[in-house]
Amino acid sequence: MIALIVAFAKNRVIGKNGKIPWSIKGEQKRFKKLTTGNVVIMGRKSYEEIGHPLPNRDTIVVSNTMNYDSEHCKTAKSLPEAIEMAGDRDIYISGGAGLYKEAMDLVDEMYITEIDMEVEGDTYFPEFNAEDYVKRIDETFDGEIPYSYVTYIKKKGLIGRKVTVTVDRKLGTYHPKHPDIYYPVNYGYIKGIMAEDGEEQDAYILGVNEPVEEFTGEIIAILHRNDDVEEKWVVAPKGSHFSDEEIMRQVHFQEQYFDSYVSKGQ
Ligand SMILES: NC(=O)c1ccc[n+]([C@@H]2O[C@H](COP(=O)([O-])OP(=O)(O)OC[C@H]3O[C@@H](n4cnc5c(N)ncnc54)[C@H](OP(=O)(O)O)[C@@H]3O)[C@@H](O)[C@H]2O)c1
């Protein structure tokens, strides 16, 4: 697994004069939790700011001018070399700006701390197309400087992911406002994942033949709609297989009102 991890301000500032231009008690808790026991890759300047290898994890510094090799710290001359050095372990690319830019094509997940204020700075997180990602809001924090832990998941990497669907339309029930719509499958939403319409992401559950309150399975397909901003996810028990035609047949009760098609992600 290769991910990137960053904290940025509303204007995407990540640094100023070689330092992080805010200090918020507790804000780095998620960084510590996610990276402990794993590999952190960072640029030379980011490493210099910290000044030593991070405890309980391995650090790989990318530099062509310095050498920081010690027991839990290695130096690589490029990002691909650093990734190769890390082998099969979970990798978190943690800045700065150039490494983030290079990493963006490689990672399926971006763990972002969104600092809810504009900050003056000289180093920025690169621009990216938010439409290529699903945004999950993991936790928000109030305080003098509010911030949120969010995860951007690349849409291309969605298939096969484990998710939990909260069912608000159980199999065997009728739509509360449109009694002509009967639910032949369980249908619900995924808490915390925001869809394009600003609501939580909806999902059809296939392969479960009784009404359920909640279901954890994997995303097996995305239903795109040519005539709607929303897309729907299709979730099924791990390892199950449904052809595109079978998926369309099972979701026809609702998708018949839209120009929709199945995508398996690629
Ligand atoms: N908010 C956050 O989450 C966050 C995270 C990280 C950093 N920061 C901030 O960002 C600033 C530092 O970032 P930065 O972008 O200026 O510097 P940086 O990426 O940390 O370091 C730049 C140096 O790293 C090496 N390097 C980077 N990318 C490379 C590549 N693709 N190939 C080969 N070498 C590469 C080069 O070292 P050599 O010159 O030795 O060859 C380069 O001069 C600081 O202000 C820091 O506090 C913030």
Q: What count of residues does the chain have?
A: 266
The pLDDT value recorded for residue 18 is 95
Taking a C-beta distance cutoff of 8 angstroms, is the pair 204, 191 a contact? no
Q: Best of 31, 45, 115, 145 to mutate for ligand 1, by most ligand atoms within 8 A of CB?
A: 45
Q: CA–CA distance from 42 to each of 79, 134, 152 (Å)?
A: 9, 25, 20
Residue spans of beta strands (DSSP E) within 63-179: 73-76, 91-93, 109-115, 123-124, 133-141, 147-154, 162-169
At residue 252, the 3 state secondary structure works out as helix
Global model pTM greater than 0.85: no
Torsion sign across C-alpha atoms 187, 191, 194, 199: positive
* Cα angle, residue 97 at apex, residues 95 and 101 outer, rounded to 5°: 95
**Is 45 touching ligand 1 by the criterion CB < 6 Å?**
yes
Residue 38, ligand 1, Cβ within 6 A: no
Show the domains of the chain with their CATH numbers: 2-157 (3.40.430.10), 162-263 (3.90.80.10)
Supply the DSSP symbol for 19. Answer: B
The pLDDT score that the predictor gives to residue 197 is: 83
CB-based contact 232:223 (threshold 8 Å): yes
d(CA 138, ligand 1 centre) in Å: 27
pLDDT digits (tens, 9 = 90+) for 2-53: 999 999 999 999 999 999 999 999 999 999 999 999 999 999 999 999 999 9
- For the Cβ of 94 lying below 6 angstroms from any atom of ligand 1, the answer is yes
Q: Which of 99, 101, 150 to mutate to test the pocket of ligand 1 (most atoms within 8 A of CB)?
A: 99
Are the beta carbons of 215 and 235 closer than 8 angstroms? yes
Q: Please identify every stretch of the chain with a pLDDT value under 50, giving residue numbers as ranges.
A: none
Burial class (CB in 10 A: 0-12, 13-18, 19+), 232: buried
14 lines ligand 1 (CB under 6 A): yes
246: Cβ contacts below 8 Å, ≥ 6 apart: none
The strand pair at 232-236 and 214-225 is best described as antiparallel
Cα(98) to centroid of ligand 1, in Å? 6
Query: CB of 63 closer than 6 A to ligand 1?
Result: yes
Quick check: helix, strand or coil at residue 18? coil
Ligand 1 binding pocket includes 43 (Cβ within 6 Å): yes
Q: Are 247 and 211 in contact (CB under 8 A)?
A: no
Cα 134 to ligand 1 centroid, rounded to whole Å? 27
CA-CA-CA-CA torsion sign (203, 207, 209, 211):
negative
What was the pLDDT predicted at 266? 52
Does ligand 1 have an atom closer than 6 angstroms to the CB of 103? no
pLDDT recorded at residue 196: 79
User: Measured from the CB, is residue 66 less than 6 Å from ligand 1?
Assistant: yes
Structure tokens of 127? 């621009």
User: Is residue 73 within a helix (H) or strand (E), and if so which, with residue range?
Assistant: strand 73-76
Report helix, strand or coil for 85: helix
Best CA proximity match to 31, nearest among 57, 68, 9, 60:
57
- Residue 95 region, left (φ>0) first, then alpha (ψ -120 to 50), else beta? left
pLDDT at 192: 87
Q: Is the CB of 121 under 6 A from ligand 1?
A: no
